[in-house]
Amino acid sequence: MTTPDRYAPLSKFLAAVKGKYKLPILIYLKHGPKRYSQVYRRLAGVSERILSKQLRELEQEGILLKTVTGTKAPLRVEYALTAHGFTLCAVVQQMWEWGERTLEKEAAQG
Amino acid sequence: MTTPDRYAPLSKFLAAVKGKYKLPILIYLKHGPKRYSQVYRRLAGVSERILSKQLRELEQEGILLKTVTGTKAPLRVEYALTAHGFTLCAVVQQMWEWGERTLEKEAAQG
DNA sequence: CAGTATCCGTTTTGATACTG
DNA sequence: CAGTATCAAAACGGATACTG
């Protein structure tokens, strides 16, 4: 941001959700933990490089918890929202609802 | 977004705030209408090309109202939040507060 | 004053082949 | 299955000169 200090809280939020697929990932994981391959299939179109990068970032921010089961292939890796992740989803919900209201307004008028 | 339909409301929101300076612009204009040059000086570091582009987009989305006074130089151009812009600011406030809580948590622990 | 036009660098994402 | 490595493409913003 222009001045890191002045907008620090906002920058923190924006950093947390920065990336084309992070919000869809969060929304998908609201319904419960999912495996890597499930997320991959859900987000039709994402490349593996981008998906694994954005999952890693969400994990490092404490928004997702990654759980690995098994030590040799085939691995089972699950991603789940943390408590902090759920608080983020609540804000995403507000963003969603603003978009809904805006679309409705546009449909009503032109 | 991956599937325009599935995430349409979210995409609408994200499109509205997309751009490095749009949120700072909104926050600045919460305190009342401002002239182009005032916004320009406030956002230290923005280029004129980017600023005018983002102001124009916000205007086209119905978030800002642009008012021009005078027909010959020097022009007086003012930007103000619309009612719809204020509803957007309320969501931005939620984003801000999530960032605040997150920063506090990080400061408390590590 | 309030922009637009042009050119360029950086950041972000995409496609695909490969690995434990 | 769950990724990483490499290379290429696209999106986005920065600098600056110019205009009504």
Give the distance from residue A70's alpha carbon to the nearest chain B alpha carbon, in angstroms.
Answer: 30
* Cis amide bond preceding B74, omega within 30: yes
Using N-to-C axis directions, what is the helix angle for B83-108 and A8-17, rounded to 10°? Answer: 90
- Per-residue pLDDT at A109 exceeds 90: no
Nearest CA among A81, A91, A74 for reference residue A14: A91
The whole-number Å distance from B8's CA to D3's C1' is 30
The whole-number Å distance from A18's CA to C11's C1' is 12
Domain A21-109, classified CATH 1.10.10.10, yes or no: yes
Please tell me which residue of chain A has the smallest CA distance to B42.
Answer: A2
Nearest CA among A80, A6, A108 for reference residue B44: A6
pLDDT of residue A71: 80
Model pLDDT for residues A25-49, shown as the tens digit of each residue: 999 999 999 999 999 999 989 999 9
Model pLDDT for residues B41-81, shown as the tens digit of each residue: 999 899 999 999 999 999 999 999 999 998 887 899 999 99
Three-state DSSP class for residue B40 = helix
For A100, A105, B42, the CA distances from B59, given in Å and listed in that order, are: 19, 16, 19
Residue among B12, B41, B104, B105 with most chain A CBs within 10 A, to mutate: B12
The verdict on A86 touching B (C-beta cutoff 8 Å) is: no
CB distance A9–B96 less than 8 Å? yes
- Domain ranges in chain A are 21-109
- Greatest CA span in chain B, whole angstroms? 58
pLDDT of residue A4: 52
